[in-house]
Structure 1
Amino acid sequence: MSLQHKKTFSVVLATGLLLSFGGSLQAVGPDEAKLKDSRQQGIKYLSVTQSDDGSWTSPHAPGITALVAHSLLQSGVSREDEVVQAAFAHLKSHLKADGGIYDVDSSHRNYETSIALMAFQAANTDGRYNELIQNAVKFLKKVQWDEEETGSKADPAFGGSGYGKHQRPDLSNTTFFVEALKTAGVSSNDPAMQNALTFISRCQNLESEHNTTEFASKVNDGGFYYTIAAGGSSQAGTTPNGGLRSYASMTYAGLKSMIYAGVKEDDQRVKAARNWIKQFYTLDENPGMGQQGLFYYYHTFAKTLAVLKVDEFEEADGTKHDWRQELANHLFQVQKKNGSWVNPTDRWFEGDPNLVTAYALLALSYCDPPTSN
Structure 2
Amino acid sequence: MKMNIVSSAKKVALLLVSVSMAQAGGLALAAEVVAEPPAASEVSTATTSGSDHTDVDLNRRIEIMADRGIAFLQNLGQGEDGAFSGETGAAVTGLCVRAILEHRPSAATTDPVVVNALKFIESKVQPDGGIYAVGSLYRNYETSTAVLALVAANKADGQTGPGKYASVLKRAELFLKDIQWDEGEGITPEDAAYGGAGYGSHSRPDLSNTSFLIDALHELGNDADDESIQKALQFVARTQNLKQPEGTEAGNDTPHADKIGDGGFYYTPAAGGQSKAGESEAGGLRSYGSMTYAGLKSMIYAGLTPEDPRVDAALSFIRDHYSLETNPGMGAQGLFYYYHTFAKALDVAGMEVVDAKGGTAHDWRLELVEKLESTQQEDGSWVNDQSERWMEGDRQLVTAYCLLALAHSKQ
TM norm. shorter chain > 0.5:
yes
Residue of structure 2 equivalent to 1:238: 279
Aligned 8 A contact 2:50 2:363 in 1: no
RMSD, aligned α-carbons = 1.9
Q: How does 1:175-324 map to 2 (within 5 A)?
A: 175-209=211-245, 210-324=251-365
Q: Counterpart in 2 of 1:92?
A: 122
Q: Deviations over 1:216-258 (max 9, x none)?
A: 0101110000000000000000000000000000000000000
SS where residue 70 of structure 1 aligns? helix
State how far apart, in whole Å, the 1-side matches of 2:337 and 2:282 are: 29
Distance 1:166 1:291, change over 3 A: closer
3-state SS of paired residue (2:104):
coil
Is residue 2:198 matched to residue 1:157? no
Paired with 1:72 and 1:367, the residues of 2 have a C-alpha distance of 15
Corresponding residue number in structure 1 for 2:148 = 118
Is the Cα–Cα contact under 8 Å of residues 69 and 119 in structure 1 kept in the other structure?
yes
Matched, 1:148 2:184: yes
**Letter of the structure 2 residue corresponding to residue 187 of structure 1:** D
Mapped to 1, the partners of 2:50 and 2:383 lie a distance apart of: 35
Cα separation, partners in 2 of 1:28 and 1:253, compared to 1, 3 Å = farther
> Residues 350 and 60 (structure 1 numbering): CA distance in 2 closer, same or farther, change over 3 Å?
closer
2:74 is equivalent to residue 43 of structure 1: no
* Partners of 1:99 and 1:52 in 2: CA distance: 25
Matching residue within 79, 98, 102 for 2:108 = 79
Structure 2 counterpart of 1:97, one-letter code: P
1:365 aligns to what SS in structure 2? Answer: helix
TM-superposed deviation, 1:302 = 0.4
**In 1, distance between residues paired with 2:142 and 2:102?**
18
CA contact (8 A) 1:137 1:184 kept: yes
AA aligned opposite 2:71: K
Kindly state the Cα deviation for residue 32 of structure 1 after the two structures are TM-superposed: 3.2
Cα distance in 2, alignment partners of residues 120 and 241 from structure 1: 45
The answer to whether the 8 Å contact 1:27/1:311 transfers is no
Picking from 92, 95, 106, the partner of 1:64 is 92
- Matches of 2:394 and 2:202, distance apart in 1: 27
With structure 1 as the length reference, what TM-score do the two structures score? 0.91
1:335 aligns with 2:386: no
**Conserved? CA contact 1:18–1:28, under 8 Å:** no
Distance in 1 between residues matched to 2:175 and 2:217, nearest whole Å: 11
Quick one: distance in 2 between partners of 1:82 and 1:316? 47
Q: For 2:287 and 2:328, how far apart are their aligned partners in 1?
A: 9
Match of residue 134 from structure 2: 104
Pairing of 1:21-40 with structure 2 (within 5 A): 28=54, 31-40=58-67
Partner of 1:353: 395
Distance, in Å, in 2 between the alignment partners of 1:31 and 1:211 is 40
Q: Tell me which residue corresponds to 1:367.
A: 409
CA-CA distance at 1:186 after TM superposition: 0.7
Sort the Cα spacing of 1:74 and 1:329 in 2 relative to 1 into closer, same or farther, 3 A: same
- The CA deviation string for residues 70-91 of structure 1, in whole angstroms up to 9 with x for no partner, is 1010122521111111001000
Q: 1:134 to 1:74 in 2, by over 3 A?
A: same
Q: Is the 8 A contact 2:288 2:329 kept in 1?
A: yes
Deviation string 1:250-299 (CA, Å, 9 cap, x unpaired) is 00000000000111221000000000000111111100000000000000
CA distance in 2, matches of 1:328, 1:312: 14
Contact 2:58 2:410 in 1 (8 A): no
Q: In 2, are the aligned partners of 1:28 and 1:325 still within 8 Å (CA)?
A: no
Most deviating of 130-139 and 27-36 = 27-36
**Corresponding residue pairs, total:** 354
2 CA distance for matches of 1:62 and 1:105? 13
Give the 3-state SS of the residue equivalent to 2:391 in structure 1: coil
Q: Give the partner amino acid of 1:35.
A: I
Structure 1 residue identity aligned to 2:347: A
Aligned match of 2:26: none
Shift of 1:214: 0.4
CA deviation profile, 1:305-354 (whole Å, cap 9, x unmatched)? 10011112211322111111110111011100000000021000000000
Q: 1:184 to 1:86 in 2, by over 3 A?
A: same
Q: Is the 8 A contact 2:138 2:201 kept in 1?
A: no
The 3 A distance-change label for structure 1 pair 195 and 298 is same
The answer for the alignment partner of 1:11 in structure 2 is: none
The AA in structure 1 aligned to 2:315 is R
Q: Which amino acid aligns with 2:192?
A: P
- Residue type of the alignment partner of 1:265: P
Structure 1: where are the runs of 5+ without partners?
A: 1-13
Deviation at 1:105, TM superposition (A): 1.5
Deviation at residue 187 of structure 1 after TM alignment: 1.8
Structure number having the greater helix percentage: 2
